[in-house]
């Protein structure tokens, strides 16, 4: 028999009863214990009676194991009441809800460091394999890496060299893989995957006519037609739309002049195809596809949203949202009401470069980053319908965050303009 009662003990070692296989009666009554360490009773195979009365049990994640143990033990146990939290006071611990959502959380842990700088990352699947095209500024190339499903990491696959490469974007047309390489000089190039050589070979040089300083490549499909938009961030240039004609991509439409566009997002807006363009010199504008003229026509702007460096669309419960990163001022989340985009949340940000939404299973996240601080991850709160501060991760001069789900695992790839490219794994953590 063991009595450790009336001692005002607040904590007990998880090894306190180790090896005590023959103990039949145990009392921990009238102490001040708020919780017991997980597995405390696991050696007590002969236990007949346990007295836990007169403690201050906190009915939260830490007591989850005890609640589950109480349900399955053959020993007779005194009633265990909750003292805290307030709403659980006086309730039996064994009535504590078994699936308490707050006992399981998620985290982002470092998984792989890729020893190269990068400005953008485009993850694509081709013939059941997963690749990433990284725009690498210091080696002036598109580094293609392949996902190794056994080792669960990216390994080098191919390297497409260029001149002042600013972006690499994949497009799969008729089961063939292409990479669009946007460059500051010599126009842009398109490379095609050559199966015999098992590498990308040059397919086309694309005339960049009015493009002066490409900043983003947005690839999309309208019906059966493939397009990409080169977003031009110079006032001297024009954001330009290119269309696939079976032999290559050719200039199709020039968008507005005199604006420093930063990013474009192709979105289905209540059944209408639109391009949303963010800009450093004007508020974001929405271009709508006109079926009769087969061109994009300026539809409207999104007021009071100056100086946006990126625009990303995402959906939660089928509602459309936009995430806008603002370089000077607050970054914003807007919600489509069916008539207009309305601001629902602001994020104080200084020098923000990215406000990237992403989802893993039923969790929705938003990551805000600048060159001057840790990147902040926010998580969607279903009840409050806003994003709440969640975690921080460190990436030097981050430029993009791209989710990757493979098998049963989820990863987040972070590009870095001055440091190393990083892959984080999104994991579940059980706090009970």
Contact range with Ca ion by CB under 5 A, out of 58-66, 261-269, 358-366, 395-403:
261-269
C-beta closer to Ca ion: residue 218 or 307 = 218
From the CB of 261, what's the least distance to Ca ion, in Å?
A: 10
**Measured from the CB of residue 252, what is the shortest distance to Ca ion in angstroms?**
18
Window 180-219: contact mask with Ca ion (x via CB under 5 A): ------------------------------------x-x-
- Piece of the chain touching Ca ion by CB under 5 A; list 258-266, 344-352, 406-414, 422-430: 258-266
307 binds Ca ion (CB under 5 A): no
Alpha carbon of 95 to those of 28, 80, 83, 86: distances in Å? 21, 10, 13, 15
Q: Which is nearer to Ca ion, 264 or 324 (CB)?
A: 264
Dig out the tokens for 357 from the structure. Answer: 């939404």
Q: How far is the CB of 206 from Ca ion (least distance, A)?
A: 18
Q: Which two tokens stand for residue 337?
A: 């009401």
Residue number, 158 or 261, with CB nearest to Ca ion: 261
- Residue 354 Cβ vs Ca ion, minimum distance, rounded to whole Å: 11
Biggest alpha carbon distance in the chain? 89
> Of the candidates 209, 121, 221, which has an alpha carbon nearest to the alpha carbon of residue 172?
221
Q: Which stretch binds Ca ion (CB under 5 A): 93-101, 263-271, 354-362, 412-420?
A: 263-271
Q: Which two tokens stand for residue 140?
A: 């002036």
Q: Please state the closest distance from residue 279 (CB atom) to Ca ion, in A.
A: 13
Residue 160 or residue 264: which is nearer to Ca ion going by CB? Answer: 264
Sheet with 319-326, strands from edge to edge, namely 308-316, 319-326, 331-336, 341-347
Q: Taking CB under 5 A as the criterion, which residues in 214-243 touch Ca ion? A: 216, 218
Residues 6+ apart with CB under 8 A from 345: 332, 333, 386, 387
Q: Which of 261, 263, 307, 410 is the binder for Ca ion (CB under 5 A)? A: 263
Q: How far apart are CA 325 and CA 308, in angstroms?
A: 6
Output the smallest distance, CB 216 to Ca ion, in A.
5
State the DSSP string of 244-293: E-SS-EEEEEE--SS--EEEEEEEEETTEEEEEEEESSS--EEEEEETTT
Query: Which positions lie near Ca ion, rule CB under 5 A?
Result: 216, 218, 263-264
């Amino acid at each position: 028999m063991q009595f450790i009662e009336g001692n005002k003990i607040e904590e007990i070692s998880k090894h306190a009863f180790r090896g005590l296989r023959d103990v039949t009666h145990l009392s921990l009554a009238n102490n001040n214990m708020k919780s017991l360490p997980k597995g405390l009773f696991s050696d007590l195979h002969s236990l007949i009676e346990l007295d836990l009365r007169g403690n201050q049990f906190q009915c939260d994640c830490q007591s989850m194991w005890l609640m589950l143990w109480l349900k399955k033990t053959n020993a007779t146990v005194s009633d265990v009441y909750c003292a805290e939290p307030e709403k659980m006071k006086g309730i039996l611990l064994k009535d504590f809800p078994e699936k308490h959502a707050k006992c399981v959380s998620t985290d982002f842990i470092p998984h792989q460091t890729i020893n190269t700088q990068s400005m953008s990352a485009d993850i694509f699947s081709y013939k059941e394999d997963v690749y990433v095209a990284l725009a690498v500024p210091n080696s002036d190339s598109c580094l293609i890496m392949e996902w190794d499903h056994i080792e669960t990491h990216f390994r080098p696959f191919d390297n497409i060299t260029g001149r002042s490469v600013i972006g690499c974007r994949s497009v799969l047309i008729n089961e063939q893989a292409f990479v669009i390489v946007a460059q500051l000089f010599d126009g842009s190039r398109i490379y095609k995957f050559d199966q015999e050589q098992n590498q990308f070979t040059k397919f086309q040089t694309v005339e960049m006519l009015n493009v002066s300083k490409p900043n983003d490549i947005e690839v999309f499909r309208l019906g059966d037609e493939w397009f990409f938009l080169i977003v031009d961030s110079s006032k001297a240039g024009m954001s330009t739309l290119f269309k696939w004609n079976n032999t290559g991509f050719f200039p199709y439409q020039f968008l507005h002049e005199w604006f420093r566009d930063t990013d474009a997002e192709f979105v289905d807006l209540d059944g209408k195809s639109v391009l949303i363009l963010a800009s450093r010199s004007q508020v974001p504008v929405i271009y709508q596809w006109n079926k009769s003229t087969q061109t994009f026509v300026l539809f409207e702007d999104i007021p009071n949203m100056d100086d946006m460096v990126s625009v990303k669309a995402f959906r939660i419960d089928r509602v459309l949202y936009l995430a806008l990163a603002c370089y000077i001022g607050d970054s914003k989340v807007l919600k489509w009401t069916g008539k207009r985009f309305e601001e629902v949340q602001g994020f104080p940000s200084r020098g923000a470069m990215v406000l990237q939404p992403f989802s893993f299973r039923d969790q929705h996240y938003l990551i805000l980053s600048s060159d001057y601080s840790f990147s902040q991850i926010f998580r969607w709160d279903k009840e409050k319908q806003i994003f709440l501060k969640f975690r921080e991760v460190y990436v030097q001069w981050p430029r993009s965050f791209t989710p990757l789900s493979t098998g049963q695992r989820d990863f987040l790839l972070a590009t870095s303009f001055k440091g190393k490219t990083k892959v984080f794994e999104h994991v579940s953590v059980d706090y009970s």
